[in-house]
């Protein structure tokens, strides 16, 4: 079986054994054919978030993708490529800091099974950066906080132990919830079935409740007597 890999200088083709995971195939190449092939991996069980790449233009975990033959494998988008499939994830991780996606003011709360369910999906996130790579906003705005950071923001604002959800909401107004086009690309590629688009939609609602407004909406309504129609939705 053949696979093609986008390397630093060119696309190279390799012959690998059939019906393996892509990660097993990458290791097979590195061990037997070309030790310089460079990629990232850890758990091989879809939980450490290390191995995401693009296969035929779609983000996949290498350890969870079964090769079928003739795939083109490329590094994640919007991440500086360090070598072959290995990328620099520091810039993407910075979005978590800017978002301040953590518990700001811890308070004791009564919690139930239902409360657990409220953020169960969001906290399945393995920080694989697939959604970041798939998000078209990065083509125009590299400072966008992005899907996984906003999902994490949502997870903390929804946590009943959070005594200061507003602090998070205030930090996701610029380059944040309103910059998303709600295209759903992030949701389509998430290997954990997380729906950042929905979380962002919810965060918009909460933002309005805390007195923020859709900046697109504000500029449109300013000077136009009839309230402008905002194609991006909002609440």
Partner 1 sequence: MIDVLIIGSGGAGLTAALAAKEAGASVLVVGKSYPTNSQTSMAQGGMNAALGNAGEDHIALHVQDTIKSAHGLCDEDMVRQMCADAPKTIEWLESIGVPFSRLDNDKAGVETVAQRQMGGASAKRACYAQDYTGLKILHTLYDTCLKEKIDFLDEHYFLNLIVKDGIAKGATFLDIRTGEVKQINAKSIIIATGGYASLYHGFTTNAYGSTGDGVAAVLRAGGAVSDMEFIQFHPTALKHSSILISESARGEGGHLLNSEGERFVDELKPRDEVARAIFKELSEDKEVFLDVRHLGEDKLMELLPQEVALCKLHEHIDPAKELIPIKPVAHYSMGGIDVDYALEVTGIKGCFAVGECSNAKVHGANRLGGNSLLEITAFGRFAGENAYKHSIYASTKPDEGRQLQKDRAHIKNIYTQKASVNFYTQREQLGKLFYEKVGIIRENSQLSKALDEVIAMQVLSNKIGIQDKSATNNTNLIDFLEFSNALLLAPTIISAAIARDESRGAHYKVDFKEENEDFRKHIVLQWKRES
Q: Which chain residues interact with ligand FES by CB under 6 A?
A: 41-44, 46-51, 61-63
Please name which of 117, 102, 204, 227 lies closest in space to residue 161, comparing C-alpha atoms. Answer: 102
Q: Minimum distance between the CB of residue 142 and ligand FES, rounded to whole angstroms?
A: 25
What residues pair up with 2 in beta bridges, in sequence order? Answer: 15
Q: Minimum distance between the CB of residue 58 and ligand FES, rounded to whole angstroms?
A: 16
| Neighbouring residues of 151: CB distance < 8 A, sequence distance ≥ 6 | 122, 125, 194, 196, 199, 200
CA distance 205 to 27: 46
What's the alpha-carbon Rg for the chain, to the nearest Å? 20
When binding is defined by CB under 6 A, the residue of 37, 51, 131, 153 that contacts ligand SF4 is 131
When binding is defined by CB under 6 A, the residue of 151, 157, 206, 207 that contacts ligand SF4 is 151
Q: Tokens representing 130?
A: 């697939």
Q: Minimum distance between the CB of residue 38 and partner 1, rounded to whole angstroms?
A: 5
139 counts as binding partner 1 under rule CB under 8 A: no
Q: Minimum distance between the CB of residue 100 and partner 1, rounded to whole angstroms?
A: 7
Interface positions with ligand SF4 (CB under 6 A): 125-131, 134-137, 147-148, 151, 180-186, 189-192, 194, 196-197, 200
């Amino acid at each position: 079986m053949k696979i093609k890999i986008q390397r630093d200088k060119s696309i190279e083709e390799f012959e690998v054994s059939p019906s393996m995971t892509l990660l097993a195939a990458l290791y097979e190449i590195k061990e037997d054919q070309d030790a310089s092939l460079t990629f990232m991996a850890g758990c091989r069980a879809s939980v450490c978030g290390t191995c995401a790449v693009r296969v035929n233009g779609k983000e996949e975990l290498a350890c969870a993708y079964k090769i079928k033959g003739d795939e083109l494998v490329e590094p994640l988008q919007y991440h500086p490529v360090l070598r072959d499939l290995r990328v620099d994830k520091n810039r993407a991780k910075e979005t978590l800091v800017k978002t301040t996606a953590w518990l700001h003011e811890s308070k004791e709360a009564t919690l139930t099974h239902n409360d657990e369910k409220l953020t169960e999906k969001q906290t399945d996130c393995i920080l694989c950066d697939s959604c970041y790579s798939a998000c078209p906003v990065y083509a125009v705005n590299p400072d966008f906080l992005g899907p996984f950071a906003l999902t994490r923001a949502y997870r903390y604002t929804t946590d009943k132990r959070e005594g200061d959800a507003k602090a998070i909401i205030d930090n996701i107004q610029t380059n944040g919830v309103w910059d998303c086009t709600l295209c759903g690309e992030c949701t389509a590629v998430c290997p954990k079935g997380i729906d950042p688009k929905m979380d962002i939609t919810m965060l918009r609602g909460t933002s309005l409740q805390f007195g923020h407004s859709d900046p697109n909406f504000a500029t449109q309504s300013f000077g136009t007597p009839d309230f402008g129609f905002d194609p991006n939705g909002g609440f």
